[in-house]
Structures are given as structure tokens and as C-alpha cells.
Structure 1
Amino acid sequence: MRTLSLFGLFLGAFAALFYFLDSHLDNFYVFEPEYLHHISKKAIAAHGNDTASMVQYIVSDLHDKLPAHVTLNEEWVFNNAGGAMGAMYIIHASITEYLIIFGTAIGTEGHTGRHTADDYFNILTGAQLAYTPGTYEPEVYPQGSLHHLPRGSVKQYKMETTCFALEYARGWIPPMLLFGYADTFTSTLDFPTLWKTTRITAREMVTQLAAGKL
């Protein structure tokens, strides 16, 4: 009984802490969705036919403004999640935010996942299609547009051919990693990629925590 009582106290304290932090998440964010969409459109205007230059333009601008929160280490890694396959470059990863370049040169399709964070997908190259049950026409997000997936919602998505985006998530990021890792254990068995993803993500999260960024 004593053990159950202690567990109950711990669970209650954890729930109270989580509720408090969850209601104050805005205090921990360093990126703004509006600005990320703005800089994405500026990059397209400056380098609309050159995705690599767009990425450099965006990362350089963000690093100038937030040097402690943006890495210039362009480390690409495959990403398999929800049945879709692409690659990502992690620009920022912390407990409450991540910012990546995500995309593929040959197209992909899958499940968005149902996440504990809002997701903002700024299309840099190509187009993304999305679908929700009960609709009869696809949502179409062309170059320069923003696809916002609210926290807790889910869609099917597709990139028919080459498509790259600046993807930003704000909310609780660690639970999202479970979705990102699941395909490794159920399908790809690509453990070297899993290790590389874990190493980069952990390094960036620990760096942010050391800087006082949750």
C-alpha cells in the first residue's frame, strides 16, 4: 500500500508539472512560424530553381538571428516514418521545437502521424498533396505555401516527385521520436541510420539544454 501511495503521489506531481509546462510552452519557443514562412518565400524569390542555395540562404539567415539555436552542420540522414521515406537535415532540435529540411528527389507517400506538436511544412521545391477522410479532393500545397498540421490531427500526404520543405514543429518533441523510429523496427531494420539520427538529435537536444533551452 505504501508503494502504491508513493506511486500515486509521484504520478500526481508529474501530471501537475506536465500540465503547468504544457500551458506555458510558448515561453520556451525561439522560432516563429510566420517568420519561417517569410524567410522561405524570400529564399524562393532569391533562388527558386536551386534548392541547395535556398537551404543555405535560410540557414544562414536563421543562424545570424539565433546563432545559439541553429547548427550549420549540414548532416543529411534518411528518414522513414509512417510508410514514407525521405531525408532530413536537422537545423535545430530541442525538447519543445525542431526545425529541419525534409524532402526527397523522387517522391514518397505516407501517414503524417498524430503528434504532440503543431507541424508547419513550408514548401521550398515541388508540391505536397494531403488528404483527410470524408473529403473527395486533395489539399494541394505548391511551392511557397504553408501546410499546417495542428497538434493531434492526422492526414495522408504525398509528394509525387521532387519536393523539399522547411519543416517546423513546436510542442512536445520527444514523443514524436517514437513515430520516427517505428519503421526501423517494423520494416527497414536500418539500424545505422537509426543510430545516426539518434546521435545527431541527442547532441542537438543536449546542446540546447546546456544553453538553458527546453
Structure 2
Amino acid sequence: MSQTIRYIALTFAFIVAVFAYLNANLHKFYIFDPTDLQNLSLKAIEAYGNETRSVVDSIVRDLDKKFPNGYINTDEEWVFNNAGGAMGAMRIIHSSITEYVIIFGTAIGTEGHTGRHTADDYFHILHGTQLAHVPGSFEAEVYPQGSVHLLKRGQVKQYKMESTCFALEYARGWIPPMLAFGFADTFTSTLDFPTLWRTVLINGREILGNLLRGKF
């Protein structure tokens, strides 16, 4: 019995050590830069204003030029996303173990819980305005078109899009644990399993494809 406990302890210690090493070196796996994504967003907004489809298309084209080895999903695959009580639509541009880039938004407004995540999340507002609130504050945080709402790893907020609002969302850190938050409402509320299945297929395809390219 003591031998079994020793093996379990050693295995656990090994897993913890590997995780600690990978966590300390996550930055080595990133290929996207928040400042570059912000510059691409501002460039597209300056060129196309509130023509959101053109803004999105411009960003995707620029990213595909910068990362030409298949890292960018150029297919226009929109799916609904219900998470934290909020509902919107998303288009997955990149998904890997340590990063994702998506377009997320709604044409009619939504409100919900951001979730408490294992990654830093950069919300680049392409159209409209996002509001956010933290406990103890009596004023809303206001993020208009062209601004960036940074939700740091482990933070949590209430957020709201009062009307039409779309954003380029970039997360960097441990992405797989975030998926549970994105899927939970399917089982507790919407029961929209066809959308869940399609989301899993797209995400899985992109994550696996990027792993095969050597992108962790």
C-alpha cells in the first residue's frame, strides 16, 4: 500500500512540476500580440467605420497575410455562443492550446457574467459599446469603438452590450479550461446540442490542426 501511495505521490509531483514549467513558459508559445491586434482593429475601423462585416473581413485578411501557414481560419463559420447568461454569435479565427482569436458580438444586445478564466482576455471593440462592472464600484466601465477591455487572468466582471456590439476577442493563457464556461449553458439552459456539436467540431479541428503545425 505504501508503495502505491509513493507512486501516486511521485506521479502527482511530476504532473505539478510539468505544469509549473509550462505555465512559466507559456509566453514562448504565443504568436499573436495584443498591440498588433489593436493596430489591425484601428486600421480596419478607420477604413470601414461602422461597416462591421468589412471591418471583420479586413482583419481576417491582414491576419492571414501575417500568418500564412494555416494558423488563421478564413472560413466564415458563425455559431451562437451562450455563456454566463449572455448570448451572442462568434466566428473562430484561431484556436490552439494557448491562444484563441474570435469575433464575438450581437446585433441586439446582451448581458452576463464574464467568467473567471485561466487566460488574459483582450476585447477589442469593433462596433458599438461594451459596459462592465465590478463589485464595489458605483460607476460603469465604458469601452467604446476602438478601445480594448482587458480582463486579466482570474478576474471576473459583469458585462453588458446595450445594443449592437461586436469585438475582436483575443485570449492568451490556458485555453481548454475556458471551454467549460462556453459549453455549460447548453446543459443548464439552452439544450442547443446541434450548436454545441458544431462549436466542438470547429474548435477541435483548429486546435488539432495547430498542434500538427507545432503550435501549442
Q: What range describes the TM-score normalised by the shorter chain of this pair?
A: over 0.9
Aligned to 2:14: 13
Aligned to 1:118: 120
Instruction: Note the C-alpha offset of 1:4.
Output: 2.5
TM-score by length of 2: 0.98
Q: Following the alignment from structure 2 to structure 1, what is the Cα–Cα distance between the partners of residues 46 and 56?
A: 13
Question: Partner of 2:208: helix, strand, or coil?
Answer: helix
**1:36 lines up with 2:34 in the alignment:** no
Q: Could you tell me which of 168, 186, 203 is aligned with 2:188?
A: 186
Instruction: Note the C-alpha offset of 1:71.
Output: 1.1
Q: Could you tell me which of 109, 130, 142 is aligned with 1:128?
A: 130
User: RMSD over aligned Cα, in angstroms?
Assistant: 0.6
Q: Deviations over 1:61-105 (max 9, x none)?
A: 010000221111110000000000000000000000000000000
Q: Following the alignment from structure 1 to structure 2, what is the Cα–Cα distance between the partners of residues 158 and 91?
A: 23
Query: Within 5 A, what are the aligned runs for 1:136-147?
Result: 136-147=138-149
Aligned to 2:214: 212
Q: Could you tell me which of 90, 93, 103 is aligned with 1:91?
A: 93
Q: Following the alignment from structure 2 to structure 1, what is the Cα–Cα distance between the partners of residues 39 and 5?
A: 52
Question: Partner of 1:136: helix, strand, or coil?
Answer: coil
Q: Following the alignment from structure 1 to structure 2, what is the Cα–Cα distance between the partners of residues 188 and 10?
A: 39
Query: Within 5 A, what are the aligned runs for 1:144-155?
Result: 144-155=146-157
Question: Partner of 2:68: helix, strand, or coil?
Answer: coil
Q: Following the alignment from structure 1 to structure 2, what is the Cα–Cα distance between the partners of residues 189 and 5?
A: 44
Q: Following the alignment from structure 1 to structure 2, what is the Cα–Cα distance between the partners of residues 61 and 38?
A: 11
Q: Following the alignment from structure 1 to structure 2, what is the Cα–Cα distance between the partners of residues 67 and 116?
A: 28
Q: Following the alignment from structure 2 to structure 1, what is the Cα–Cα distance between the partners of residues 214 and 4?
A: 34
Give the paired residue count: 214
Query: Within 5 A, what are the aligned runs for 1:195-206?
Result: 195-206=197-208
Q: Following the alignment from structure 1 to structure 2, what is the Cα–Cα distance between the partners of residues 170 and 14?
A: 22
Give identity over the alignment, percent.
65
Q: Deviations over 1:42-62 (max 9, x none)?
A: 100001120000000000001
Task: Extract structure 1 runs of 4+ deviating beyond 4 A.
Answer: none
Aligned to 2:68: 67
Q: Following the alignment from structure 1 to structure 2, what is the Cα–Cα distance between the partners of residues 167 and 49?
A: 18
Q: Could you tell me which of 103, 108, 114 is aligned with 1:106?
A: 108
Instruction: Note the C-alpha offset of 1:11.
Output: 1.0
Matched letter for residue 17 of structure 2: A
Matched letter for residue 22 of structure 2: L
Question: Partner of 2:79: helix, strand, or coil?
Answer: strand
Q: Which runs of 5+ in 2 are unaligned?
A: none
Q: Following the alignment from structure 1 to structure 2, what is the Cα–Cα distance between the partners of residues 4 and 58?
A: 53
